[in-house]
Chains A and B, each alone.
Chain A
Amino acid sequence: MMFLRGNAACPGCPIPRELDALLEVTGERTVLVVPASCTTVIMGDTRGMPSKVPVIHSAFAASSAIASGVRSALDARGEKATVVVWAGDGGTGDIGFASLSGAAERNEDILYVCYDNEAYMNTGVQRSGLTPFGAWTTTTPSGKAESKKPLPKIIADHGVPYVATASIAYLFDYKDKVRKAKEMSGFRYIHLLSPCPPGWRFDAGLTVEIAKLAVETGIWPLYEIEKGKFRLTSISKVLVDKKKRKPVEEYLKLQGRFKDLKGEDVKRIQEEVDQMWEDLARM
């Protein structure tokens, strides 16, 4: 076990397991760079931490830049290791976006993992650019009016060697992607959909179920883009066929954050998902 139990995560939080799975693959010679987020708290304090690998905490916007420096220093000292940024959706797609884009453009030799719980959870569920359309947050009390920022696509457009999406419900797929990324060099990006019981308003026992439904409804397609080549992975391969996808409603209805959605909102979400799959089929 690379990440100890008994940490400060909420019941049902997927982050500790996601981190453990990551470190099982990348191993002891991993440096984690962690910006302000729920993970900051989960990582313990000055008295001790659950991680078995070095952790460098980062200001909210700075993790890609700090990781670039860590990489450069390890290279200068001839030390082999995997440098990983582990950041939330806010630290990735909003405040950290400039430094992320800079690091991607420079093709820094780092592995960036965004665990996407679709809001600023550490500060109590405020909207981020990656909050999906219609979702309640404390700053979108009547539902978010805008759509989710398509981050994996934006990173892929930087021409980096590896981009993948993943889910805690498909652990083998996730670990395969981490393994593949670990063996490559240059900028590698994995985007994990990371359900959050208190933030999404669902029962703590349903985390994996919800993660699974996100994939099965097609809301969260699993894929990888390796050196520009797009490929669906795991069960998403069969979901190109619309009939194989569950209706989005099955995913939405389990979460309190979507409870005020109107029929037309659900219809819009379904249409957006169907459109996204038509686009994916052409990639």
Chain B
Amino acid sequence: MQVTKGVVKALVGNHAVAYAVKQAKPQVLAVYPITPQTTMLEKLSEYVDRGELKARMIRVESEHSALASIYGAAVAGARVFTATASQGLLYMTEMLYWAGGQRVPIVAAVATRALASPWSILDDHQDFMSKRDAIWIQMMAENVQEAYDLTIQAFRISEHENVVLPVMMGFDGFILTHTMERVEVLHDSVVDSFIPPRKFNLVDFTDPVGVGPVAPPEDYIRIRFEAKKAMERSKRVIKEIFREYEDISGRPQHGLVECFMCRDADYVVVSMGAWSGDARVAVKRLRERGAKVGLLKVRVFRPFPFEEVRDYLRDCKGVLVMDRAYSFGSGGILVNEVKVSLYGHDVPVHSLVGGLGGMDVRPLHIQTALENLMEGKLEEERWLL
């Protein structure tokens, strides 16, 4: 495939994602305002009102209805999109499982934000990570460019005939949604040929079916088993789609994970989302001093890339996982996944819990934790309070 140079723009995260959505040409959208997602809804409303995006924006009265209405539209054959954050994602929960269970292609962007109570409008990953069992593919961006890229890819992945699953694209509230960065956007025609017309439709008047009826146990468990297989199958498809996107965009897309200086590293930081950028800085500084450290960034959280994580980390002397979401009574949500990946391998895995409710985390915090890890002085779990 041919690389056509994209167009460089300066965009805040919410507008970059809105731009990607416009190019993916969904026919039905429903978005309910919530900080820090709202400016995306406003931008999309402008596109629709000006006719730049030929779609219906359903002005719903809640997030539950936002997802419910695009679910209905998706079942009836339309390409659809929604976006939310925090309380809104929680409010959607019932419909998230509904859409996941029915395996309907839907794309949702989540501008991650802490959960109440107490109130906070600032960033952490508790909202996004709490939805890990809803039968949705979940991807997370590190920067505005990646948020744009993953949004385009999400439509393709979701509707792919070997996948047929809803996809959630997470990107950090404020840190990405409201930060202006250099973004290279694709030409419309390139996006058009990247995302083929949607085929999925369950409303057929000549051969009517019931969508989501009561399932006796034998059918219920089989439907769940099929969903599990679709999730597993999707890993290959996602990697293929990333590679294809690399070709058309000319930008490296890595795989389910991105390895930064981690191939020969003795100590590796594992992270997801925007603070991977801070981890990069910490890793570079320590490398300059001769320490063999690296970063492994998880780009796709569901399906979880167990194989990749294991292969990159199995021979490490120590792993530091950055947790921005916590399962109370258990531990960091990401660290638990990393530990499962390394089951049977003797690698010490530590958790650095931080950034909750928008608490600032800087490269120095990560650098210090890494130094402590190398000195054998890091607790199994450290909270950055």
A interface residues (Cβ-Cβ under 8 A, vs B): 28-29, 31, 33, 40-41, 43-47, 49, 51-59, 61-62, 64-70, 72-77, 79, 81, 98-99, 101-102, 105-106
Contacts and interface: CB of A to CB of B under 8 A. Distances in A.
Nearest to B216: A45
A54 B204 contact: yes
Contact of B212 (A44, A56, A106): A56
Interface string B23-52: 000011010000000000000000000000
A69 B70 contact: yes
A99 B28 contact: no
A46 to B, nearest CB: 4
Contact of A44 (B60, B64, B65, B210): B210
A65 B61 CA distance: 9
Interface stretch (B71-79, B270-278, B318-326): B71-79
Cβ-closest 8 pairs across A and B: A69-B72, A102-B61, A69-B73, A66-B72, A65-B65, A73-B76, A73-B78, A65-B68
A52 B208 contact: yes
Contacts of A49: 209-210, 213
B205 A72 contact: no
A67 B72 contact: yes
B58 A75 contact: no
Contacts of A29: 205
Contacts of B345: none
A69 B64 contact: no
Contacts of A46: 210, 213-216, 219, 223
A74 B27 contact: no
Contacts of B116: none
A62 B95 contact: yes
A66 B68 contact: yes
A99 B71 CA distance: 14
Contacts of A47: 216, 219
A105 B70 CA distance: 18
Interface in B193-249: 201-205, 208-216, 219, 223
Interface residues on B, range: 35 or more
Nearest to B211: A56
Contact of B76 (A64, A69, A99): A69
A76 B208 CA distance: 20
Q: Is the interface of A mostly helix, strand, loop or mixed?
A: mixed
Nearest to B61: A102
8 contacts: A46-B215, A57-B210, A66-B75, A69-B69, A70-B203, A72-B78, A74-B77, A81-B205
A243 B340 CA distance: 78
B69 A66 contact: yes
B188 interface: no
Interface in B61-110: 61-62, 64-66, 68-78, 80, 94-95, 98
B167 to A, nearest CB: 18
Given A56-B212, A76-B27, A99-B64, A106 B76 contact: no
B58 A68 contact: yes
B251 interface: no
Contact of A54 (B65, B98, B209, B214): B209
Given A51-B208, A69-B58, A70-B203, A56 B219 contact: no
B72 A98 contact: no
A76 B73 CA distance: 9
Contacts of A58: 68, 212
A31 B62 CA distance: 24
Contact of B214 (A41, A73, A106): A41
B65 A98 contact: yes
B362 interface: no
Contacts of B254: none
A59 B94 contact: yes
B68 A99 contact: yes
Given A33-B72, A40-B213, A62 B65 contact: yes
B205 A54 contact: yes
A74 B214 contact: no
B56 interface: yes
A230 B55 CA distance: 36
A65 B203 CA distance: 17
A53 B208 contact: yes
B203 A31 contact: yes
Nearest to A75: B56
B71 A98 contact: no
Nearest to B223: A46
B187 interface: no
A45 B214 contact: yes
Contacts of B214: 40-41, 43-46
B9 interface: no
B5 interface: no
